Amino acid sequence: MEEILRKKARELLESGAVKVVIGWGWNRNRTRTTPVFITSPEDADKLVWNPLCVNNLSVYLTRKFKDIQALGKPAIVAKGCDIKNIVVLITEGQVKREDVFIIGMTCDGVVYRQELWKGELRPEIMPTKCHNCDVRNPFVADFVVGEKSAFTPPEAPTGMVFDKIKEIDNKDASGKWAFWINEFSRCIKCYACRQVCSLCYCERCITEKNMPQWIETSAHPRGNLSWNLTRAMHLVGRCTFCGECERACPVNIPLNLINQKMIQVVKDAFDFRSGYDEKTHPPMIVFNPEDKENFIK
């Protein structure tokens, strides 16, 4: 697969169809993958594909990266789950479909965190999203690398995230509150969750609006709660459960739980799953007379 990927990248750069290929490459010791930006055909061999390719590179398509946009039309190497984020960016008018060349990778799953890798992809080191993945075959792509995957996700979603959500759902309000206040207490307000997220593309985040200061920047319980709740609300109906925020969090706040719970709520309320259709707008930005309004009591 790697060879086909490199060949395609080389062709695209040689023909001038794209100016940069955003993909994964090795670090110096070839122990971890890291994002690479290939601008000349002879560097195409630096691209790699393996279960360590965890990063969701779609973040580099957003307007946060004006210097990367200045390089010219990009091709992006993307797993099915990364493509979901590109789809959301398209539906929200951030990227035009024709402005990006998507090289979709057929995927058998990746590791939850690169440091867990011991040379073999075992189910225990894969994130919940991979166990339930229905996009192992890239569904929006200009070129697909890899044999068709025959994997079918389990009927009822399984994995740590879903188990934990059930556990929290069974708590009463004060139990839920105590759980989250404890988790958020570790927040250091580094905003890694926001920065790694391709759907947090605001040039000026609400936490940076300081006249007045809507969200207290202090890492105290009130500031941490308001930041984490606000970010969660801003991702409702948009988050695709790519898991980058939880992976990037230096203090291990289980953000996947919040995001997956929100996905379930949106599924129940609007029968909508984000990231599957680039022609459908997410429910939070459209009005539909058929919307259930049972939240208004």
| Residue 195 interacting with another protein (CB under 8 A) | yes
Q: Nearest distance from residue 32's CB to another protein, in Å?
A: 5
Q: Pick from 1, 3, 7, 31: which binds another protein (CB under 8 A)?
A: 31
Spatial neighbors of 75 by CB under 8 A, at least 6 apart, are 9, 12, 17, 18, 20, 21, 22, 100, 101, 102, 103, 142
Stretch that binds another protein, among 127-135, 150-158, 184-192, 283-291 (CB under 8 A): 184-192
Q: Which amino acid is at 154?
A: P
Q: Pick from 15, 16, 29, 172: which binds another protein (CB under 8 A)?
A: 29
Q: Nearest distance from residue 22's CB to another protein, in Å?
A: 9
Q: Which residues pair with 36 in a beta bridge?
A: 23
Q: Which CB atom, from 65 or from 151, has the smaller least distance to another protein?
A: 65
Q: How many CB atoms lie within 10 A of CB 297?
A: 4
Stretch that binds another protein, among 22-30, 92-100, 102-110, 141-149 (CB under 8 A): 22-30
Dist CA 283 CA 275 (whole Å): 12
| Residue 55 interacting with another protein (CB under 8 A) | yes
Q: Nearest distance from residue 155's CB to another protein, in Å?
A: 30
3-class DSSP state of 25: strand
Stretch that binds another protein, among 89-97, 124-132, 210-218, 234-242 (CB under 8 A): 210-218
- The tally of CA atoms less than 13 A away on the side-chain side of residue 240 is 28
3-class DSSP state of 183: helix
Q: Pick from 218, 264, 280, 288: which binds another protein (CB under 8 A)?
A: 218
Dist CA 66 CA 61 (whole Å): 9
Q: Which CB atom, from 148 or from 204, has the smaller least distance to another protein?
A: 204
Q: Pick from 12, 33, 159, 240: which binds another protein (CB under 8 A)?
A: 33
Pair 129, 242: CB distance under 8 Å? yes
Dist CA 272 CA 43 (whole Å): 41
Closest C-alpha to 233, from 252, 211, 251, 214:
214
Residue 215 φ then ψ, to 5°: -120, 125
Instruction: Lay out the sheet containing 143-145: strands in order across.
Output: 33-38, 20-26, 74-79, 101-105, 143-145
| Residue 119 interacting with another protein (CB under 8 A) | no
Number of helices followed by number of strands (H, E) in the chain: 10, 5
Q: Which CB atom, from 152 or from 182, has the smaller least distance to another protein?
A: 182
| Residue 213 interacting with another protein (CB under 8 A) | yes
Stretch that binds another protein, among 116-124, 136-144, 153-161, 185-193 (CB under 8 A): 185-193
Q: How many residues bind another protein (CB under 8 A)?
A: 46
* Secondary structure of 108-123 as H, E, C letters: CCCCCCHHHCCCCCCH
| Residue 279 interacting with another protein (CB under 8 A) | no
Q: Which amino acid is at 99?
A: D
Q: Which CB atom, from 140 or from 197, has the smaller least distance to another protein?
A: 197
Q: Pick from 7, 63, 122, 186: which binds another protein (CB under 8 A)?
A: 186
| Residue 89 interacting with another protein (CB under 8 A) | no
Contact residues for another protein (CB under 8 A)? 27-29, 31-37, 55, 59-60, 64-68, 114-115, 183, 186, 188-192, 194-196, 208, 210, 213, 216-220, 223, 244, 247-248, 250-253
